[in-house]
A and B are shown apart, each in its own frame.
Chain A
Amino acid sequence: AQSVTQPDIHITVSEGASLELRCNYSYGATPYLFWYVQSPGQGLQLLLKYFSGDTLVQGIKGFEAEFKRSQSSFNLRKPSVHWSDAAEYFCAVGPTSGGGADGLTFGKGTHLIIQP
């Protein structure tokens, strides 16, 4: 069965500093990979997704992620964080066959705290 591991439950970063959130997945084939962000009391917003092709994908709000097949990783990065980036971040994996038919498997999330 597929699984997603986000090793860091909480991360604290100073405003203006760079950010990397880790995500490792276990899947039998090449999956679809996603990063979602959730602000307090809100739903999930898609930051970026990887389906195929270029392993470095650009997303909204200045985020990017790199798919590394050899490491089964899909880490999220941002060169300079803003206070508004404080939120919960979820990595998710989905099947390539049949698109999203079986739903996404989510990691447990990383809570990002921004220090002034």
Chain B
Amino acid sequence: NAGVTQTPKFRVLKTGQSMTLLCAQDMNHEYMYWYRQDPGMGLRLIHYSVGEGTTAKGEVPDGYNVSRLKKQNFLLGLESAAPSQTSVYFCASSPTNGRAFFGQGTRLTVV
């Protein structure tokens, strides 16, 4: 009963490096989301997807790209990491009734 799994759990990047965060869900949910969590800011939506092959921008999309080639996977990419992208990233998925299930988070530090 895995639910939502994020990899990696921790990562340190140098400024300008690229990386991809992977989110996988085994609940056959249509909707998937990427949030970032910063101290005192709560969670802010980066990008989301309402189905395989579709993506859309959330509240803070700049500097990130996403892809949803398979229904169960939602990838978040950073093409050129910046220190401002140091954060904890959460993936979530939900069926169409609005309840979101969250992964355990990825702690990313950009130095």
Contacts and interface: CB of A to CB of B under 8 A. Distances in A.
Interface of A: 4, 9, 32, 34, 36, 42-46, 49, 51, 90, 92, 94-96, 98-109
B58 A103 contact: yes
A94 B100 CA distance: 10
Nearest to B51: A101
Interface string B68-111: 00000000000000000000001010111111111111000000
B94 A100 contact: yes
Interface of B: 31, 33, 35, 40-45, 48, 50, 58, 90, 92, 94-105
Q: Which 3 pairs show the lowest CB-CB distances between chains A and B?
A: A99-B96, A100-B98, A100-B94
A43 B102 contact: yes
Given A43-B105, A99-B31, A103-B48, A51 B40 contact: no
Contacts, number: 78
Nearest to B45: A103
A100 B100 contact: yes
Given A101-B31, A103-B58, A44 B90 contact: yes
Contacts of A34: 99-100
A51 B97 contact: yes
A96 to B, nearest CB: 7
Contacts of A102: 48
Contacts of B92: 44, 104
B97 A42 contact: no
B42 A94 contact: no
Given A43-B104, A99-B96, 11 more contacts: A32-B99, A34-B99, A45-B102, A46-B101, A49-B99, A92-B43, A94-B100, A99-B95, A104-B33, A105-B45, A106-B43
B97 A106 contact: no
Contact of B99 (A43, A46, A105, A107): A46
